Structure 1
């Protein structure tokens, strides 16, 4: 029976408007993950980096509130929300709350 692959978040990176930690398979694993991922935190009043790329992506909102702008559409988000972005759709979030906006992000090639 296949065993789960242990993954962990790496060293935080400070980017404009957010702190990002990327996920990777445990160094001892002979397998690789079929996706990539990160978690990031956007401080109150800050806006994340505008993102647009060749991979599909999903954001899972863990805590906080914000406004996501994707293409030309604005959406209010909060804990428990999930957002899907097809490849090449621009997206970013502004934290509209009083605490950190925490997001988990997973991405993969669209043909995977």
Structure 2
């Protein structure tokens, strides 16, 4: 069974005009479908982006409320205070062992 018998079109290499016409038809169909797809894709992106500023605003407002409330409960880091006290004790011990006097740093 040949290609023509199965309904598959055959291309005659000698007839360039027929080939150009079939290619032009194929490309016009492709461009039409691609434009439909692109328009739908851009429209879905636009719809998604319309909701982003609303979400960002609501998220920012709720986060700000939590930060303001938790800011009240912040305390100085006790680790920093402990490290400063240990350094002072170490300096006092070193001064006592070497026979020098120790002057404590003034705290504000």
TM-score when normalising by structure 2? 0.15
- Greater strand percent: which structure? 1
Which is bigger in relative contact order (C-alpha 8 A, separation at least 6)? 1
Structure having the higher Rg: 2
- Greater helix percent: which structure? 2
